[in-house]
Amino acid sequence: MFNFTTLTGGKPHPEVPALAEQFRGGQIDRREFLRTVAWLGVTAASAAAFAGVAPGAALAEEPKMGGVLRIAVAVQEITDPALVSWVEGSNLLRNVVEFLTKVDADNITHPFLAKSWEPSEDLKVWTFQLQPNVKWSNGDAFTTEDVVFNIKRWTDANSKSSNKSSFAAITSVDVKDTLTFSITLNRAILSIPEMFYAYTCPILHRDFDKVGAPWPKNPVGTGPYALAEYGVGQKAIFKRREGYWGKKPYLDEVRYIDLGSEISAHIAALAAGQVDFIARITANDIELVKKLPKVQLLTAHAASTVCIRMQTDQKPFDDIRVRRAVLLAADNAQMVKLAYRDLGVVGENHHVAPFQPEYFKLPAVARDVAGAKALLAEAGYKDGIDLTLVLGNTQGRWEQDTAQVLQQNCAEAGIRVKLNVLPATEYWPIWNKAPFALTFWVHRPLAVMTLDLAYRSTAAWNEAHFKSPEFDAALDKAMAIVDPKQRALAMQAVEKIVQDAAIMVQPFWADKFTAASTRVQGLRLHPSDYHDLTTVHLA
Amino acid sequence: MTLFRALRRPTAAFGAVVVVIWVACALFAGLLAPYDPLISTTALVEPFSRGPDGKLFLLGTDMLGRDILSRLIFGARTVVLWAGLATATAYVVGIVGGLAAGFYRGAVDQILSFAANVILSFPVLVLYILIIVTLGSSGANIVLAVTFASAPAIFRIVRALAIEIREQDFVNAAITQGEGAIRIMLFDILPNATGPLVVDACLRVGYTAITIGILGFLGLGLPPPTPDWGTMVNEGRAMAMVFPYLVIFPCLAISSLMLGLSLLADGLREASREGSRA
């Protein structure tokens, strides 16, 4: 019997041996095994040793210290870090504030500000041990008081953070000592450690509210860099600070430069050597980036997607026949092929990706234009129906391209879709208000995290106004199962409820791409777009 | 007569042919376009190539697999229709205001001229963007924006001509005979102002076509999937370094229409001068 070591040094969770057996028997794959035992508190080294993963190769030579990394990205106004709604903003914060856990680009959860964690057998009580000797940039010691302040702030009745629904299951937070705390849940949740790495979960200083927002005026953090300058729409400069508790980062300075929203301008700046790394490119830019000298293309598979969702309580979408007609008319395969250059995976209208661990393969639903027409006629729209789809190209023009293909698809069924294309900045204020809208959803390692955030009856970001107690119960059940195989079976019901409710056309899963100068080393594209710059160095 | 005189000039005749071709495209788009401009087939087929299904695409297909030639032909309808309509509306407003100001002078002139000067003091593009962003992008709103921004310039031309013609003997004779003001303005003053106005209108349709192209390029044109040359340039620009034909053809379409209208306007101007000398 292999002896697994845990982060706490204690006995492994009772499910760990069963998972090991499943891995040996080929019932679950290596990645699934590593990811699940990491949640249960097994050390990465021990899990990797069991799974036969070679330890990371040592670098041929020690990376060079120093240098300034220049990144082209939108420098947005940041009021309260817990309320940041764009990943770009969270990446700026990430230099200064840190998280309890860290999920790497392979979706494996690692200790961060939390040194270790241990779940109870029923997964309802989670005990976390914090890193000792962590100092805030103002000299204060980092303690459980800080963590409790943040968790209570997220889950407070008046909280506006999306964490309020994500962590709604927390019934109490108990402090054992200055470095140990536990959270108690009203239902079992397996993915708690991973959930603490959501970009809405940065750990702020316990006195943050005494000074208050905006964050650039109150940038106290535990991270490796200190904020030196912050100009909304212009630039943000972070300088390495002395006294950081973790491994000293290689870069002296990280400089974010706002070049506007035009990706072509970002690529031009990269080609001209004015920046070293650009936050994002789209599928349409790949051919160009490949031709640029001294530029590397970074790619990653991700559960990022667009949801063309219909609000179930708004006319005409309160009639499920109309929603089903739209889904039957939509050709998801054509959307990924034309709008995303076939650089993604076809979606199945339930927001669970085939490469997410909980995925259960439902029978394929074939496109049926005649069926769509019949449903419309039954719903009283014999002569077709006029709909207005609102979108904002928040991630690039491919969103509009996707909508245009859907428009063509729907036209075949007599569904006349008018596109109302707004500038991205005008879209976000109304993203959850328009009855028929196209919204980009970022990657989350677990499908249940997105489902919990977007489709639970009480969820803060339930933009489709989908309310189904049956779905809520099925999701609760799935979130509590440790065994990936069993969890996938429970997900069958979850996916089927969402798909049958026909609340969205979710055409495809969009791969991620970006580009950096070849002098940027040690950078991996994270499927969530999170930038971990502590490993980055310049050649 | 002026038109016939103008067409004797090779450059003006060339301009007229180009304009007629695009107008014909606009009128008979359904007959001329080889494919439906809104239907996707195979993406990014190079010009003069066939898709996997054997279909020939003379100007290639765009990133959504739509035939570029068909989109250009249908795009002509967008440009010719909306540029023509917008210019005509601007002319109606400009002529009415200009005639009234030039004929009545005094307070009417002062108020209208002040309003025109205020509007003209704004950068035209900023005005267009403000109007389209506020009201939303549609054909009617493009007409409104162009009318609002162009009518003051037309007003000034008409006003200047009206003031000059107002002093002519035949107008004074008509006033003495007790003819009504509207009748004098429409039947005595306006016909004598048409020469410069036709030349200006010709150029102004071209400017409006460019304006529609600019609005489309800025993402403020007609809502997708309406074929619109400016929008086509905007859509193709992200891939223009690799697939330059995506932007070259719509740019050529905009330039050719503008060139055609300019050459025709030059010819008309020269012909009009010759006419007055004769």
| Cα A118 to Cα A532: distance, rounded to the nearest angstrom | 25
Q: Determine, yes or no, domain membership for B199.
A: yes
pLDDT recorded at residue B210: 87
- Please indicate whether, in this complex, the C-beta atoms of A338 and B224 are within 8 angstroms of each other: no
Would you call B114 exposed, middle or buried from its count of C-beta atoms within 10 A (0-12, 13-18, 19+)?
exposed
Residue B216: pLDDT band (50, 70, 90) is confident
Inter-chain contacts counted by CB atoms under 8 A, chains A and B: 56
Nearest chain A CA: its distance from B191 CA (Å): 44
- Please indicate whether, in this complex, the C-beta atoms of A420 and B223 are within 8 angstroms of each other: yes
Q: Determine, yes or no, domain membership for A60.
A: no
Residue B209: pLDDT band (50, 70, 90) is confident
pLDDT recorded at residue A53: 64
How many distinct structural domains can be found in chain A? 4
A264: chain B residues, CB-CB within 8 Å: 237-238
Residue B277: pLDDT band (50, 70, 90) is low
Indicate which CATH number applies to the domain containing A267.
Answer: 3.40.190.10
Instruction: State whether residue A173 is helix, strand or coil.
Output: strand
B235: chain A residues, CB-CB within 8 Å: 397
Closest to B160 in 3D by CA, of B106, B109, B89, B108: B109
Dihedral class, residue A27 (left if φ above 0, else alpha if ψ from -120 to 50, else beta): alpha
End-to-end CA distance of chain B: 12
Same domain, A239 and A137: no
pLDDT recorded at residue A332: 96
Q: Determine, yes or no, domain membership for A394.
A: yes
Q: Taking each helix axis from N to C terminus, what angle separates B68-104 and B10-27, rounded to the nearest 10 degrees?
A: 110
- Please indicate whether, in this complex, the C-beta atoms of B238 and A337 are within 8 angstroms of each other: no
Q: Determine, yes or no, domain membership for B44.
A: no
Quick: pLDDT tens for A302-322: 899 999 999 999 999 999 999
Q: Which residue segment(s) compose the domain that B235 sits in?
A: 2-30+65-277
Provide the CA A338 distance to its chain's centre, in angstroms.
25
Q: Determine, yes or no, domain membership for A83.
A: yes
Residue B53: pLDDT band (50, 70, 90) is confident
How many distinct structural domains can be found in chain B? 1
| Backbone dihedral angles phi then psi of residue A161, each to the nearest 5 degrees | -75, 145
Quick: pLDDT tens for A223-255: 999 999 999 999 999 999 998 999 999 999 999
Indicate which CATH number applies to the domain containing A440.
Answer: 3.10.105.10
Closest to A356 in 3D by CA, of A321, A407, A305, A428: A305
| Backbone dihedral angles phi then psi of residue B77, each to the nearest 5 degrees | -65, -45
Whether the CB-CB separation of A376 and A464 falls below 8 Å is answered with: no
CA-based nearest residue in chain A for residue B223: A419
| Cα B224 to Cα B211: distance, rounded to the nearest angstrom | 17
Residue B1: pLDDT band (50, 70, 90) is low
Quick: pLDDT tens for A28-62: 777 778 878 888 888 888 888 888 765 554 555 67
pLDDT recorded at residue A60: 54
| Cα A224 to Cα A230: distance, rounded to the nearest angstrom | 17
| Cα A271 to Cα A258: distance, rounded to the nearest angstrom | 16
pLDDT recorded at residue B276: 61
A401: chain B residues, CB-CB within 8 Å: 63-64
Q: Determine, yes or no, domain membership for B55.
A: no
Quick: pLDDT tens for A397-433: 899 999 999 999 999 999 999 999 888 878 888 899 9
Please say which residue of A182, A211, A240 terminates a domain: A211
Whether the CB-CB separation of A87 and A531 falls below 8 Å is answered with: no
Q: Which residue segment(s) compose the domain that A234 sits in?
A: 225-300+512-538
Same domain, A331 and A455: yes
Quick: pLDDT tens for B100-114: 998 888 999 999 999
Mean pLDDT of chain A: 90
pLDDT higher than 80, residue A330: yes
Residue B157: pLDDT band (50, 70, 90) is very high
**Residue among B63, B219, B237 minimizing CB distance to A421:** B219
Quick: pLDDT tens for A176-211: 999 999 999 998 888 899 899 988 999 999 999 998
Distances in Å between the Cα of A182 and the Cα atoms of A9, A46, A101, A130 are 17, 24, 15, 11
Mean pLDDT of chain B: 89
Quick: pLDDT tens for A69-128: 999 998 988 889 988 877 888 999 999 999 999 988 888 889 999 999 999 988 899 999
Same domain, A438 and A319: yes
Q: Is B40 on the interface with A (CB under 8 A)?
A: yes
Quick: pLDDT tens for A347-400: 999 999 988 878 889 998 899 999 999 999 999 999 999 999 999 988 888 999
| Cα B267 to Cα A381: distance, rounded to the nearest angstrom | 55
B221: chain A residues, CB-CB within 8 Å: none
Closest to B93 in 3D by CA, of B156, B18, B44, B136: B156
Choose from A267, A281, A291, A404 for mutation: most chain B CBs within 10 A: A404
**Residue among A264, A339, A404 minimizing CB distance to B225:** A404
Tell me if the pTM is above 0.95. no
Which amino acid, residue B201? A
